[in-house]
Amino acid sequence: MDYESKYCKNCGEGLYSNSDKLKACIGVEGCYWIDFENPIPTAVTLVPIRGGILTIRRGIEPAKGRLGLPGGFIEKREQPYDGAKREVLEETGAIIEIERLIYEKNPNPQILNNIVHGYVGRYLGGELRAGDDAEEVVILPVKSLEELCFTSHQEIVRLWRDNDENFGLPIKL
């Protein structure tokens, strides 16, 4: 899947490139927008609940119909941990508190250039129901982590499972 920018995100005109790392707008006079092709920030959260972990059956590609941790793109001017809480609420109906960051990595830079912020959250309440781009909410047994659609989600579960509760960077808000 190629996510290469072809048009200016500021004015919509075409982009030109004189290197593989930098593209600039060729459009409207005064539009000096440059596409640096930076990684796209995402946030996913592992939420232990009822002896398992909170997952969703994805309703969109990539991996439509497969299980994953709740998460998605961090919005403009949003802190990563706030994006993580928002995505969990939108996709599952769960209200959570972010406890710590346990994963931060660009897992597949040649395929999809994104930075995954992986958090552990604590379930506070809310009615579990599929929302946003989720087809279903599933409480997955921890031993079934191979069923998760992305290797980054599997790594997050392994890190959480194989380390003590103090592993990772605590989030103090």
Query: What are the distances in angstroms from CA 101 to CA 28, 166, 169?
Result: 42, 11, 5
Sequence-ordered list of residues with C-beta below 8 angstroms from that of 150, at least 6 positions apart, any chain: 63, 68, 107
Neighbour tally for 31: CB within 10 Å:
14
Catalytic (active site) residue 136: yes
Contact criterion met (CB below 8 Å) for 63 and 134:
no
**CA-based nearest residue to 135, from 68, 38, 36:** 68
Active-site pick, 136, 146, 147, 165:
136
Give exposure, 83-93, as e/b (b: 16+ Cβ within 10 Å): bbbbbbbebbb
Catalytic residues: 136
